[in-house]
A = this chain, B = another copy of it.
């Protein structure tokens, strides 16, 4: 990576945060739906502005430059495109949190909890909070698309970008459906292939493929290059999802036991499935029993921890994760990207790896 690009990327986060704050200020009028809606617009602003890792907008900007885009990082259309990915992320998080009944997001209440708390002691406040959050998610979805649409890139490029963007959204939705439905199945009836498909659809598409492909697309890359890039991203995305599994497991064992609910809610992670595969019949039955919602107590949690440890799944998945990163590296070497493009992507992945090693890609 050239020193200029490095300096540019270092400045990007603060440029982006400034742009995001101005964007919500400048669009307040557009969403001035009256007194009842006002506090929600402020909540939306606050929610999106919460310090996230901004993985998606930063990958987008990096990819745009790696593939030869010439606009400066303070170009408003470039920043709008980056923002559209963060708005998409916010929409997905809000719906996801309603679905999972999560209470905290980025160290603060989830969106539906914000609404619920404002309603005070009202009957059914929790349901109202969830309902409002679903609709606010829809509004952010429309906002994300309109933000990407209203850039000044050539119409043909914008159109292709919108087409990709919509495709990523339905892929993510399909992944979310997998997540929900696999959650209802006994671990024995969940195939590893279903879990990896779920990971790819639900997270890789919009977290890695969308930013990198859109960045390259708007920089002018051709269809073959975009295809090659998408293929390269798939193992990387899966590796990051495995990293998420491992992080959650360590949190789960550690002080922060909040994450336990994920497992007790029935989420089918690769870690659980690999653990199941490497246990004997008796331990498998134990695991199934402890995972069943009827057995959600501290004793089952400790038992699940023990069984995962015993299975050796953590070591196996750590190896698999490294293998996937190596696979991506090999694909990068064999690719038709220039050495500079290859280095750029390598640095992008390693920077995401550093940023996410303790908290995952969310």
Which A residues are within 8 Å of any B CB, using their own CB? Answer: 31, 33-34, 36-37, 40, 95, 98-99, 119, 122-124, 128, 131-132, 134-139, 141-143, 145-146, 149-150, 155-156, 158-159, 162-163, 166-167, 169-171, 173-174, 176-178, 180-184, 194, 197, 201, 293
Contact = CB atoms under 8 A, between A and B. Distances in A.
Given A134-B99, A138-B141, A180-B131, A33 B146 contact: no
A159 B166 contact: no
B163 A143 contact: no
A181 B36 contact: yes
B142 A149 contact: no
A95 B31 contact: no
In the complex this chain forms, how many copies of it are found?
2
B169 A142 contact: yes
Q: Nearest 10 pairs between A and B by C-beta?
A: A33-B174, A139-B173, A142-B169, A146-B166, A99-B131, A155-B155, A142-B170, A142-B166, A135-B176, A139-B170
30 contacts: A33-B197, A34-B178, A34-B197, A36-B178, A36-B182, A37-B174, A37-B177, A95-B134, A95-B138, A119-B184, A124-B293, A128-B180, A128-B184, A131-B180, A132-B177, A134-B134, A135-B180, A136-B177, A137-B138, A138-B173, A139-B173, A139-B174, A142-B167, A142-B169, A142-B170, A142-B173, A145-B162, A146-B166, A146-B167, A150-B163
Contact of A181 (B132, B137, B184): B132
A145 B176 CA distance: 20
